[in-house]
Amino acid sequence: MPIIPAQPYEFDLPIPGTALIVIDMQRDFLEPGGFGAALGNDVSRLAPAVGPTRALLDAFRAAGLPVIHTREAHRPDLSDCPPSKRARGRGDLRIGDPGPMGRILVAGEPGAAIIPALAPLPDETVIDKPGKGAFWATPLHDLLTARAVTHLVFAGVTTEVCVQTTMREANDRGYECLLVEDATESYFPAFKAAALEMIRAQGGIVGWTAPSAAVCAALC
């Protein structure tokens, strides 16, 4: 079994048994005119995570391990979007409103698409999720259980919002979780740093962290 040099200590990566989860690498968060920008963020801050995420995708695909992509995206009728979520932030552009990439954070709209550099392959699972966590109101746990997945490697955005929420959900469901440090980004560098610290503190209270090079090297 490959062993990854990680923090707070080494991470076992069983093959089979490990899946890559790429969280919300979609145009609505990484490109101007989407949800991230509507919240007042500098979306260019997320770009550094693209290359390392691409390297992970290549490594997991070459190893024949499952890859699952998520998108934060609501039904067109917004029946899965709590009014509290839509109202939050008091922005001019809200979830469901028309923007330059179609309706903000709505499934099937151009903004909800995963960025071309990280496009899913036809046989890869793509999960639309209404919440910040990828387990809430989705079939993710059942899909992973059916494939006998016990270990999860995480990439995606944003570190302290959807990635950390999903890792906490996964941790409580018994998965061993590793977050790839350079394959995740936040609009707030201090929040990214704090999220990495709090995940691996206390002996890995939520999980492990490691650089993409260490994960890719272990899969070669």
Active site members: 24, 129, 162
Stretch that binds ligand TIU, among 43-51, 55-63, 153-161, 199-207 (CB under 6 A): 153-161
Please report whether residue 21 would count as binding ligand TIU according to CB under 6 A.
Answer: no
CA atoms 51, 52, 58, 61: torsion sign: negative
Please report whether residue 184 would count as binding ligand TIU according to CB under 6 A.
Answer: no
Q: How many helices (H) and strands (E) in the chain? A: 8, 10
Site size toward ligand TIU (CB under 6 A) is 10
Looking at residues 188 to 207 of the shown chain, list those that interact with ligand TIU (rule: CB under 6 A).
none
Looking at residues 23 to 42 of the shown chain, list those that interact with ligand TIU (rule: CB under 6 A).
24, 29, 39
Closest residue to ligand TIU, based on beta-carbon distance? 162
Helical spans, DSSP H, in the chain: 27-30, 35-38, 50-63, 83-87, 140-146, 164-172, 189-204, 212-219
On whether the CB atoms of residues 107 and 94 are closer than 8 A, the answer is: no
Nearest to 134 by CA among 99, 95, 175, 100: 175
Please report whether residue 153 would count as binding ligand TIU according to CB under 6 A.
Answer: no
Question: What x/- string results for residues 74 through 113 when contact with ligand TIU is judged by CB under 6 A?
Answer: ----------------------------------------
